[in-house]
Amino acid sequence: WQKIEAEGLDCDYAQLFSKEEADNLFQKLEEELVYATGEEATVQVFGKVYSIPRKQATYGDAGLTYTYSGITRMACPWTPTLEDIRDAVTRTTGQTFNFVVVNRYKDGLDHMGEHRDDERELDPLCPIASVSLGAARDFVFRHRDARGKMSGRRMEPVKLELAHGSFLLMNPPTNTFWYHSLPVRKRISRPRINLTFRRVQRCLDRSTMAVHSDRYGEPASQS
């Protein structure tokens, strides 16, 4: 295990699967997973609709939904491979998860803009567990007070590479103080699948849900 720490940032990183296991899981997920299309493959930013620069799917326990960037996603029922990975993550962390967000990046042009996973329906005490399969990609954390020209503080971003078969545990309060992104990397031609296991609380009053506007994918720094 590798501990990744900064002020308000607390993560653990490890190689969870061997290359053979990870190859096998990637292949099975390519066969099993169905990605969102239509309105579910879009985000809304200040009322404008954008398609996301990657493919996305949500799986989890029956009846769970998850709202971000103005769109409510229904959980599809767990697939056998997602259950296997979820159970491996639970054995490693001692935490249970009822939901997973899947992101598939077809190559280095697909990316995810800077955001926090701070939706109201997430259990704030539960870490977010991120499993990466396929092409290794850079992952960047930036402190909320060190974003943009007018930022009050100079704090170095925290950068790491998420390898094939790797596991990143983002512990509280990381998601309160740090934004994260998966920047464009033009030289990468192979696909990557990322799974973020979460604990979602049921039946939140809609009026208490945060509406998010910063996840649609830009700006992304270039390699």
Ligand X SMILES: O=C(O)CCC(=O)C(=O)O
**48 annotated among ligand-binding-site residues:** yes
Rounded Cα distance between 7 and 3, Å, is: 13
Smallest distance, ligand X to C-beta of residue 38, A: 20
| Minimum distance, C-beta of residue 196 to Fe ion, in the bound complex (Å) | 6
Between 171 and 196, whose beta carbon lies closer to ligand X? 196
Q: How far is the CB of 167 from Fe ion (least distance, A)?
A: 15
**Among positions 110, 114, 117, 121, the unique one binding Fe ion when judged by CB under 5 A:** 117
- Residue 103 binds: one of ligand X, Fe ion, none (C-beta under 5 to 8 A by kind): ligand X
**Least Cβ distance, residue 19 to Fe ion (angstroms):** 25
Say whether residue 110 binds Fe ion (CB under 5 A): no
Residue 197 marked in a binding site: no
Within 10 Å of residue 191's Cβ, how many Cβ atoms? 18
Residue 110 binds what, of Fe ion, ligand X, none (CB under 5 to 8 Å, by partner type)?
none
Interacting residues toward ligand X by CB under 6 A: 101, 103, 112, 117, 130, 139, 162, 180, 182, 194, 196
Radius of gyration of the chain (CA): 16
C-alpha span between 168 and 165 (Å, rounded) = 10
Annotated binding site for substrate: 46-48, 66-68, 118
Binding stretches for Fe ion (CB under 5 A)? 117
